[in-house]
Structure 1
Amino acid sequence: MEYFTEEKICKYCKQKLAICYDEGLQCLECKNNVHIRCLKRGSVPGGLNGDLFYTYMCQECSSSGNEVFSRNKVSWLQIITLALYHLQTKSPGLARKGYFHWRNHVATFVDRNWEIFFSYDVKKKKKWTGTVAGTLSHFGSYIFLSGTSTFNEPAWWTLMYPKLSPSVISNLHSLLTLEKQKMKMRNEKKSMHDAELFQIVLSTYVTNEELLQPFSISNMPVLPDVKEEDMICTEVKKNPKQKSASVNKRKSVFPTIGNTSK
């Protein structure tokens, strides 16, 4: 797959892009690549760490003379992976031994930054938080890691491979899906679980041993607590129809998302 094998050079600094370490976007028009750190605006809209899920046009190709970003349609797997990746890298003090609560942390983070993940015209479905829990469980054997055995209770999750970026995980999952389709076309009986197939795909395309290290509590550093309000990305643009935050302050920094006892 070209994503993992193609050498990419940033059009501005002339240095190589590196998956997970120094990623970037490709211009839709000129096809040149740009590091996230080399973007003229300083970051992608919203500022989520590891967020490459945009269609990008550089300022040289844009008719306005400004960089243009269009949010790609994202799956719930991509959303939750991105949320956990941002939380673990930017707000690790919120975690419990490296794990985040699916409702109090993950769903709340998505709720508070909905306009970054989606767009203003995408409405929340009544039971959207159930999709968060379902997605974590569905991919809980090879992308996400449950903290049930650690805490003797459900609800706590982390990334199984914390050093893999959301874009890398998304592309690996696409390769897994493609391989399953090929097996189906060859009329092969399903004799391999998704977790096993993911391991094959992972070891084939990711050769850096550091990136292949799975999550381990023993490797977690002792960190100071992070304020819960840091879960809100500061770059999100407020909907003009919404009241000013300075006028309409809420008593709690977290929104109420149903029953938080689970």
Structure 2
Amino acid sequence: MNVTVDPNEDSEWNDILRKHGIIPEKPPDPEPIIQEALVEAEKKAHDNRLEDKDLDELDALEDEEDEEFLEQYRKKRLAELSTLQTSSKYNQVYPLQKPDYAREVTDASNETFVLVNLTSSLAGNVESRVLSELWRQLAPKFGDIKFCEIRADLCIEGYPERNMPTILVYRDGEIRRQVITLRDLRGVKTGIQDIEKMLVDLGAIKESDVRLKRKDEDEDDEEVRRRMIRNRGMMMMMMIGIEDKILRLS
């Protein structure tokens, strides 16, 4: 007579079988392991609770945190800022000419990340104008990264308008990533935070970088987008007015 034994069952008989090696040992209960991992994760989060705080935010916590603990983070932030100040050598958007492209982009990428914005020559391309504005905001903020800009049609003959703007990311003499239009970001709603996330994903900046965009900058991004839309509307009205004048003259 065959007797079926459930090796995972808690029973005296199974304990005897396990003792004699007839059935394998019961696998360990995962719950204690999970609980231990959760406790460890909570401890790590608590220990690192000040990682994303800047100097002003650290000062605001003087009544809530241990002074010695705060002072460690103040020194860390000051050291980070000193390092960033030393490495910030670009601090502006570099307009490119095609003959200088290899030197200003490919060769320069051996020292740092180089981001090239291939822009549109058409005023109606709102995404291109949005990205150009973001470039002007990001360049002085991340001075250790080289932000460049060139009209796509002056850089690549016949480059299609539907692909503009295009972001080319160079490092160590090679293109590491290309982003064709802002569709895969947030279109005309693309903001500083979206580009910063891309920089983190690329490894161009660390996730703990003290310069990363703060939440209260969201309103600034929204204002940039509204200004771009208003400008586009004014440009369209001007174009319509010019067309009317041409028709009357003809």
For normalisation by structure 1, the TM-score amounts to 0.23
Q: Which has the larger radius of gyration?
A: 2
Q: Which has the higher contact order (CA 8 A, sep 6+)?
A: 1
More helix by share: 2
